[in-house]
């Protein structure tokens, strides 16, 4: 007998009941209807497609725009012993090949991928052979030119729907106007579909905007008056350090979080705050995605976010436990003017876009007509120094080229080292006999990580292997690289640099297809 949706919720999430609207949305999906779900930040959107996908037979395809979001959801599902994988720009062709094969042979329940991957030949060929249970489109506002975060590649989802005509779809987002809702349904080729929308009003959340000429002093006063865990959002990395130090000197335990920190530093700061060892986390907007801390009592913005939607998302991280919480903006005399000047900065002229695009092509030595969906490590300091460009100008030019569907910049994310045995058991054994100096390492890999090394890439830890073998970590890395060169294994060393991706084959910069009127 098939488990009920309530049994699935209890078994995998240990929740006794669904939140408002979740059950109605799930029943709509299980009835085979195309469904649009609008739930506020913290409203439990992911459960609305994960639960029905676990009821239906086959793989659930999840289209998601951000690597960090994909990685977080995949890790959360894997912790619940649900088979989930993601395809993104950080993977090589062989890794993608193995993942898609596992989806075809029914070993995967959730496949997360970015919209840019949908039109690749390798995906198009394999998806025809998959048993697809459900198509879920996360952050669905990205498909609408009227939305706040338009992403041209989302328009390709319509072609995927034509390949999977009998598969129901669910589109999810936190905010959408009437125009955007209609646009989402049209662009996704939704058949007549129900729309479920929860009120964006949070009865337990107090919003306030306080004019002040002394932001830090006002912040300290608020922290003294409101007990409990807090997030303080600032615009720059430098500010995170300065504000955290200032608070610490006044007896408030404060950590910092921004995209420039290493994975280990970010993880340590986040865990300390989640476990309430640190009361305040001072962060840029890099912080918050996938963070499920229900008891945040206070979110303070020392700088205005660039959009109202961004503010709603960040402020909405307070009070997810349903208890009363506060979201406060501290507004300085020049803040509105500063925000207006930033809007002007964010729209560089067409010639700047062409110059930056050409410089990137030269930097990575990409010939015209090549480089599509190849991922490159991007160090903005080295790039700007090489081509004598301003960092802020480059940042805004890349973001504008993203909205034109030509590039994609993924912020720094941690990708641990991975290993895959590229040859059969028999070939491995022959190599061990012929090269006994590598026998201990191969045996250690199999003992620590098991037979999965033969079926797909497995995350490894060189320090753990070095401790096991009682040998220096550098020696382990060197041996792994040698085995990779001999085609015995495929070894992908750890990385956490930002990644830049040419989402189309490289153009000649003089003929770059930009919407100049736009």
Q: pLDDT tens for residues 57-71?
A: 999 999 998 877 888
Residues 329, 257 within the same domain = yes
Residues 161, 223 within the same domain = no
Last residue of a domain, one of 197, 227, 242: 197
Residues 247, 304 within the same domain = yes
**Strand 418-421 relative to strand 458-459: parallel, antiparallel, unpaired?**
antiparallel
- Distance set, CA 306 to CA 17, 163, 230, 285, 322 (Å): 36, 38, 21, 10, 27
- Return the bridge partners of 197, or none: 38
Q: Where are the beta strands (DSSP E) in 284-368?
A: 296-301, 325-331
| 65-102 exposure pattern, b = at least 16 Cβ within 10 A, e = fewer | bbbbbbbbbbebbeeeebbbbbbbbbbeeebbebbbeb
Write down the pLDDT at residue 36: 96
Write down the pLDDT at residue 460: 92
Write down the pLDDT at residue 290: 62
Write down the pLDDT at residue 138: 93
Question: Which are the contacts of 287, defined by CB distance < 8 A and separation ≥ 6?
Answer: 231, 233, 257, 258, 270, 281
323 in any annotated domain: yes
Residues 361, 463 within the same domain = no
Mean pLDDT of 302-308: 87
Residues 131, 223 within the same domain = no
Share of the chain above pLDDT 90, in %: 62
Residues 427, 452 within the same domain = yes
517 in any annotated domain: no
For the chain, the straight-line distance linking the first and the last C-alpha, in angstroms and rounded, comes to 56
Write down the pLDDT at residue 220: 96
Mean pLDDT of 159-182: 90
Residues 261, 356 within the same domain = no
The CATH number of residue 292's host domain is 3.40.50.300
Residues 26, 83 within the same domain = yes
Mean pLDDT of 239-257: 95
Write down the pLDDT at residue 264: 80
112 in any annotated domain: yes
- pLDDT(120) > 70: yes
Tell me which residue has tokens 């002093």: 217
Q: Which is nearest to 90 in space by CA: 57, 116, 55, 124? A: 116
**The tokens of 41 are what?**
């930040």
CB 36 within 8 A of CB 181: yes
The torsion angles phi and psi of 496, rounded to 5 degrees, stand at -150, 30
Last residue of a domain, one of 286, 308, 338: 338
The CATH number of residue 408's host domain is 1.10.10.10
- pLDDT(48) > 70: yes
- pLDDT(41) > 80: no
How many helices (H) and strands (E) the chain has is answered by 20, 19
Mean pLDDT of 105-129: 91
pLDDT in tens, 103-114: 999 889 999 998
Mean pLDDT of 137-151: 83
Last residue of a domain, one of 150, 174, 197: 197
Residues 27, 141 within the same domain = yes
Residues 405, 469 within the same domain = no
Residues 409, 430 within the same domain = no
The torsion angles phi and psi of 169, rounded to 5 degrees, stand at -125, 150
209 in any annotated domain: yes
Share of the chain above pLDDT 70, in %: 97
- pLDDT(2) > 80: no
518 in any annotated domain: no
Q: How many separate domains does the chain show?
A: 4
Residue range of the domain that includes 327: 205-338
Mean pLDDT of 382-389: 94
How high does pLDDT run on average in the chain?
90
**Which run of H or E residues covers position 264?**
helix 263-274
How would residue 175 be classed by pLDDT, with cut points 50, 70 and 90?
Answer: confident
How would residue 198 be classed by pLDDT, with cut points 50, 70 and 90?
Answer: confident
Write down the pLDDT at residue 148: 67
- pLDDT(42) > 80: no
- pLDDT(309) > 90: no
- pLDDT(205) > 90: yes
Question: Which are the contacts of 151, defined by CB distance < 8 A and separation ≥ 6?
Answer: 65, 115, 142, 143, 402, 403, 405
pLDDT in tens, 329-373: 999 999 989 888 888 888 899 999 999 999 999 999 999 999 888
Whole-prediction pTM value? Answer: 0.74
**Strand 418-421 relative to strand 489-492: parallel, antiparallel, unpaired?**
antiparallel
Residues 57, 174 within the same domain = yes
Mean pLDDT of 274-293: 86
- pLDDT(1) > 70: no
């Amino acid at each position: 007998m098939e488990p009920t949706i309530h049994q699935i919720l209890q078994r995998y999430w240990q929740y006794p009941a669904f939140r408002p609207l979740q059950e109605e949305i799930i029943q709509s999906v299980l009835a085979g209807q195309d469904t649009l779900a609008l739930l506020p930040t913290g409203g439990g959107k992911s459960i609305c497609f994960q639960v029905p996908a676990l009821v239906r037979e086959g793989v659930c395809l999840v289209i998601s725009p951000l690597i960090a979001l994909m990685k977080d959801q995949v890790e959360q599902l894997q912790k619940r012993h649900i088979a989930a994988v993601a395809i993104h720009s950080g993977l090589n062709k062989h890794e993608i090949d193995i993942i898609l094969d596992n989806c075809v042979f029914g070993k995967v329940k959730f496949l997360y991928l970015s919209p840019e991957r949908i039109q690749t030949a390798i995906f198009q060929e394999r998806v025809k052979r998959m048993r697809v249970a459900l198509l879920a489109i996360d952050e669905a506002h990205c498909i609408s030119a009227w939305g706040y975060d338009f992403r041209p590649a989302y328009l390709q989802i319509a072609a995927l729907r034509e390949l999977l005509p009998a598969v129901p779809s669910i589109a999810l987002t936190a905010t959408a106007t009437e125009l955007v809702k209609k646009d989402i349904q049209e662009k996704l080729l939704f058949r007549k579909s129900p729309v479920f929308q929860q009120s964006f009003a949070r009865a337990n959340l107090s919003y306030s905007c306080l004019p002040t000429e002394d932001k830090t002093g006002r912040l300290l006063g608020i922290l003294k008056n409101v007990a409990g865990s807090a997030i303080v959002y600032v615009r720059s990395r430098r500010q995170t350090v300065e504000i955290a130090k200032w608070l610490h000197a006044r007896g408030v335990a404060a950590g910092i979080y921004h995209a420039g920190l290493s994975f280990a530093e970010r993880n340590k700061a986040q865990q300390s705050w989640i476990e309430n060892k640190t009361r305040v986390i001072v962060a840029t907007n890099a912080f918050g995605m996938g963070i499920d801390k229900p008891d945040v009592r206070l979110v303070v913005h020392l700088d205005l976010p660039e959009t109202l939607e961004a503010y709603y998302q960040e402020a909405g991280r307070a009070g997810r436990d349903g208890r009363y919480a506060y979201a406060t903006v501290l507004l300085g005399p020049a803040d509105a003017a500063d925000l207006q000047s930033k809007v002007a900065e964010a729209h560089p002229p067409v010639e700047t876009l062409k110059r930056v695009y050409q410089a990137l092509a030269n930097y990575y030595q990409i010939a015209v007509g090549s480089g599509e969906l190849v991922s490159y490590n991007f160090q903005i300091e080295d790039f700007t120094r090489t081509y004598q460009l301003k960092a802020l100008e480059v940042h805004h030019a890349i973001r504008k080229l993203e909205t034109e569907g030509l590039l994609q910049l993924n912020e720094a994310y941690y990708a641990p080292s991975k290993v895959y045995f590229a040859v059969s058991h028999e070939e491995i054994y022959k190599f061990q006999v012929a090269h006994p100096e590598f026998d201990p390492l191969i045996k250690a890999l199999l003992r620590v990580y098991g037979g999965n090394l033969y079926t797909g890439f497995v995350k490894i830890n060189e320090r753990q292997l070095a401790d096991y073998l009682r040998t220096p970590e550098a020696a382990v890395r060197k041996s792994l690289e040698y085995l990779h060169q001999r085609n015995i294994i495929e070894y992908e060393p750890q990385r956490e640099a930002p990644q830049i991706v040419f989402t189309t084959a490289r153009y000649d910069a003089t003929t770059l297809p930009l919407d100049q009127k736009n």
